[in-house]
Structure 1
Amino acid sequence: MAVPGGPRCGGGSLGLLVWLLVFQPLLSEARAGRNERRLVLGSSGVDVVSVMLEEGLVVVGVDVVDMVDVVEVLEGRQQLHLQSFLLSPGTCGHRIMRIVGGVPSPERKWPWQVSLQVNNVHKCGGSLIAPRWVLTAAHCVKGYEEYTVRLGDTLLQSNSKNAVVIPVQDIIHYSYYNSLTMRHDIALALLALSVNYSAYIQPVCLAGKDFEVKAGTLCWATGWGRTLQFEPSRLPTLQETEQVILRYAKCNRMVKKQQNPFPKVIRKGMVCGCHEKSGGPCKGDSGGPLVCQFNNTWIQMGIVSWGVHCALKEVPAVYTDIRFYKEWVYDAMSQASTLDSGGFFIPLVCLGLALSILPTL
């Protein structure tokens, strides 16, 4: 999807060269130099917009005034108002449908949801964040497996005309991922081909480090996992469950209550959610998104990671908190997108666990 006023991905014109030489450094300086401002989910008087970064990646948590002010005061530069092509609300986190409530979730309701598969068998969930990039959990992906990603369909076993299957070209793990503590449970999958957006396939917005979600905020987790912990098989239809965001201290108390003694395992870089009436994610849901709605835009706050038990009411599920990894996502995409496997230039601007800890794989 092209950014209004900017180049189209894959173009080779002189205009694209000018864009790369002039505006990409400006964007880097703006990212590095702008003043911090916390944006609180549910607060009034704050206009949140999307900022297009590498190859279509969209990060939420920057407002128009911050970005434009920074660009205007860059020393030795002409004052440039980048709002027209860098700030593009509506490029992510939107679904093209009239929402119909109920479970299982209808088509188009979660168009960023993908199925990460091996030999056409569902292994984990994931979320589309750019035309060639999928976000998932590190514990879902192993270097020796050959993965494909299925997009655009809520039924895993159907031959839907809306479904698209694309091979995964490369996997990028967070280097400090720890399978024992489940810290830094995040990974990126680079697709072999760019996906075309449609009513059934759309990217989700990512929460930036300045974006705060208050405890008690209602969000949603989605996936094809089991609805009961010891259920023999996973469901072929995409499921959804409400999740209420919890504070660290409360989540730790609830986790310890499930098994005693139990070490304090909820750490920085994790976020918890649960619901007193609906179950949480379970095996097969790992890697899928935890999304929250704000100003008609869906923002991914977490990645399904682990839990003491799964799919139980009032038992918290633990998610990787994306806000702590936004810079890593940005940098990983920047490095991987410089050259693809065929040597073609891709424009940067377009772009075994303890038994008590059950990953939701």
Structure 2
Amino acid sequence: MTIISLLLLASLLPHLTFTAHVNVGIVNGKEATPHSRPYMVSVQVKERHTCGGFLISDRFVMTAAHCLNNSPVVTVVLGAHDLRKKSENSVRYKVDSYHQHPDYTEASFFNDILLLKLDRIVRLNDNIKWISIPAEGSDIKAGSVCSVAGWGRLETNGKKSDHLMETDVKVMNNTECERKWGKNYFSTSQMMCVHGNGGSCDGDSGGPLVCGDTAVGVTSFGDPARCNSPKQPEVYIKISAYITWIKKITGNII
């Protein structure tokens, strides 16, 4: 998703004194046990992985709004582990309708959340299942151990992984995250961030931050110069802040 990333960053330059990288693969992680995360989705343009995502019902996928900035048409692949394999019973779905948050703009990362309504009901099986999302207004305590996963780059400017990778992370205090990013770029009510030995990198935008058995965040942005940076932690959209909007789009089925 290099072209999309560059275009988005170019659009941000007039607005930001420093930029953030988008599509934040997994650094210092390990290969996930195949199909141990059956909610994971590969969002693809012309059948090439561009972003992560996750299944939240039998009809809707959640991902990051900026994943559509230069790709008005995407398809999604469910039930995959190795994206090169066509024989692992993964299934490709077309998108029936796109629902970016109405307050999202390409000028910032605020409200960076997108719902994809699939063109047909998903047939669930051992490799394809949805994941729960949190209650409205709920928070995760700082220091909680959670996890991220994706098919993105394995290191800054490195190659993407064909296999799903994962790593554990710790939730950071929101006030500390705001101090590191600044109020112009970070919202304590709408965002959260994590730190750890491993973390997200280019190619993982839209993937879930998972705490327990619940997806609590959507991978959004991070340091433009270094994946898993200690200075500018990776930032996630806080799903619990958007439950009313999500239920409006999905028809209260979540």
Alignment TM class, shorter chain as reference: 0.7 to 0.9
Distance 2:168 2:106 in 1: 27
Greater mean alpha carbon deviation, residues 116-125 or residues 241-250 = 241-250
Asked whether the 8 Å contact 1:141–1:171 carries over to 2, the reply is no
Give the equivalent residue in structure 1 for 2:11. Answer: none
> Measured at CA, do residues 254 and 241 of structure 1 come closer, stay the same or move farther in structure 2, by a change above 3 Å?
farther
1:318 to 232, 235, 246: 235
| Stretches of structure 1 lacking an aligned partner (at least 5 in a row) | 1-101, 256-261, 335-347, 352-361
Asked whether the 8 Å contact 1:287–1:305 carries over to 2, the reply is yes
Asked whether the 8 Å contact 1:143–1:171 carries over to 2, the reply is no
Runs (4+) off by over 4 Å: none
Asked whether the 8 Å contact 1:248–1:266 carries over to 2, the reply is no
Distance 2:144 2:56 in 1: 23
Distance 1:144 1:117 in 2: 9
1:249 alignment partner, SS class: helix
- Pairs aligned (count): 223
Asked whether the 8 Å contact 2:99–2:116 carries over to 1, the reply is yes
What's the CA shift for 1:311? 2.6
1:159 alignment partner, SS class: coil
Give the equivalent residue in structure 2 for 1:135. Answer: 62
Distance 2:250 2:137 in 1: 20
2:245 alignment partner, SS class: helix
Aligned runs of 1:123-272 on 2, under 5 Å?
123-142=50-69, 145-231=72-158, 233-255=159-181, 264-267=184-187, 268-272=189-193
State yes or no: 1:304 paired with 2:219. Answer: yes
Per-residue CA deviations over 1:111-150 (Å, capped at 9, x if unaligned) read: 1000001111001000001111000000001486321110
Larger helix fraction of residues: 1
Q: Which structure's CA Rg is the greater one?
A: 1
2:40 to 85, 94, 113: 113
Distance 2:110 2:130 in 1: 25
Distance 1:282 1:142 in 2: 18
Distance 1:263 1:180 in 2: 15
2:109 alignment partner, SS class: coil
What's the CA shift for 1:211? 2.5
| Stretches of structure 2 lacking an aligned partner (at least 5 in a row) | 1-28
State yes or no: 1:291 paired with 2:210. Answer: yes
- How large is the RMSD of aligned CA atoms in angstroms? 1.9
Identity of aligned residues (%): 31
Match of 2:222, as an amino acid?
Answer: G
Per-residue CA deviations over 1:251-295 (Å, capped at 9, x if unaligned) read: 13344xxxxxx66522120011111x22x11111000000000xx
Distance 1:244 1:123 in 2: 26
State yes or no: 1:274 paired with 2:200. Answer: no
Distance 1:264 1:142 in 2: 21
Asked whether the 8 Å contact 2:137–2:241 carries over to 1, the reply is no
Distance 2:235 2:228 in 1: 13
TM-score normalised over the length of structure 1: 0.58
2:56 alignment partner, SS class: strand
Asked whether the 8 Å contact 2:41–2:53 carries over to 1, the reply is yes
1:145 alignment partner, SS class: coil
